[in-house]
Structure 1
Amino acid sequence: MRGIGQVASSKWQVARGEWRMVSAGTTRWAMLGILLLIPVALVAQESIPVPRITVGVDSARTPQEVSTSLQILALLTLLSVAPSILLMMTAFTRIVIVLSFLKSALGTPNIPPTPVLVGLSLFLTFYVMSPTLEQINREALQPYMKKQISFEQALARAEKPVRQFMLRQTYTEDLNLFLRMRKQPAPRTPDEVPLTILIPAFILSELKTAFLIGFYIYIPFLVIDLVVASILLSMGMMMLPPVVVSMPAKLLVFTLANGWSVLAQALVQGFR
């Protein structure tokens, strides 16, 4: 037993010595790597200086500086809401609401995904608005780029096609509603309708039209749901959810009827 203990002790001392040698070698390599990295860090520090950023708020000294600050603030605010404003003045509102109604009527809340529906709505909007955009480009943007008209004249020319598009889609009762609420007499010509009245009236008209189209979309799918539920009840399969059977049936009917093409055609032709 004493011999076995001496052998084990000698092996432990040998292993301990080897570990010290490995540890010392690793330490030497680590120190060498650190020494090699120091010149690289010094060169990088000399070639790429760290910028100093100072932020300060100074008081305006002249009325012109105050006016400029307010103009910049108004511009930044307008840029943050400009996409929403532009979308509300186009065909996007009606198209995206109708497609959302279709997804709900099919009983597939996650199919197609929302980004797909939004992308389809945007491209259909560009298709519907292409005549208006071409007119704006021809009558307002190109003359302004050629410095033939001023910026104010370009805005006035660009407003006219958009105004005509919104007027064609807006119901008269919606226009009269906002005119009555403002207690303003009816304008003599459509061009005299202010945008503060035309835009909300146009949005209300688009919502009304989109909900009406959504009602027509729901009717055939509601009939399919009722038929499937009646068949399941007559067969005594009350424990089977009707949606399990009706959803494939609705998808099949919608696909066989070429529903996407029919709906896209109806949406595009619905704009005057």
Structure 2
Amino acid sequence: MSKSKKTALITGSYGGLGTRFADIHAASGGDLILVGRVQTKLDAQAKEMEKKYHVTAHTIAADLSSPDAAQQIYNTCKENGWNVDYLINNAGYGGQGDFARERTMEQDLSMIAVNVETPTRLCKLFLPDMIKRGSGKVLNVSSTAATMPGPLQACYYATKAYVTSWSNAVSRELKDTGVTMTCLMPGAMSTGFANAGGLSDTALFANATDPTPVAQAGYDAMMKGKMNITAGLVGIQKIFMKLTPILPKKMLMDNVYNMQMRGSAKK
């Protein structure tokens, strides 16, 4: 399947990995549907993409924590005749804090909505169209956090475990349909994620990597129809990930807890 003239819908398009995905796809000649919360930021990004790459960039402003967001996005595409060839579920966020004593109900339920509910709804809506056409690709952005429990980010780690498990199961269900689903599992990256989640001064993000090669690895894996791709691990992170399946669970959780404590970057 040629990348040229294919349209990619990217959620969380103007931040972190989203800008990289938009650049990568547009650089190949593909059109864009940019999705995010703030219309002015979407407009600025669309203008830049069209000027720089000579592609068409549509925008949809939506609050992805709303249960109606996915239907709004799908309806907008249908009403305008925009076919989605690639669906990149990139939007997501985390947040540091003790589940029972620091994190609010609103914070965690909103996170679950953005990280789990809306990507699920988008796939429920767009996948049948792709299957009917016999072509299409989905890239779901998960995290290496999916492979372990995450004290001080309990809900975030759990949402990413869902994304990976769900993506892998659906990828098998899509066999022989002409449609593929790929799961990208990045390590810690230098994006706005750490600042937004109160994680910038933690050991977890002390050696955060450049998101550009991570986005490229994810995009390339999607194009090849791979099921999973892990990217952005540096140094000791690679060793830690290999040890994760065999470490005693309590030892693993102690390690993750200590890495995510505020101020741990300086320890």
Instruction: Determine if the TM-score, normalized by the shorter chain, exceeds 0.5.
Output: no
Q: What TM-score comes out, normalization by structure 2 length?
A: 0.21
Q: What TM-score comes out, normalization by structure 1 length?
A: 0.21
Over alpha carbons, which structure has the higher Rg?
A: 1
- Of Structure 1 and Structure 2, which has the larger fraction of its residues in strand? 2
- Of Structure 1 and Structure 2, which has the larger fraction of its residues in helix? 1
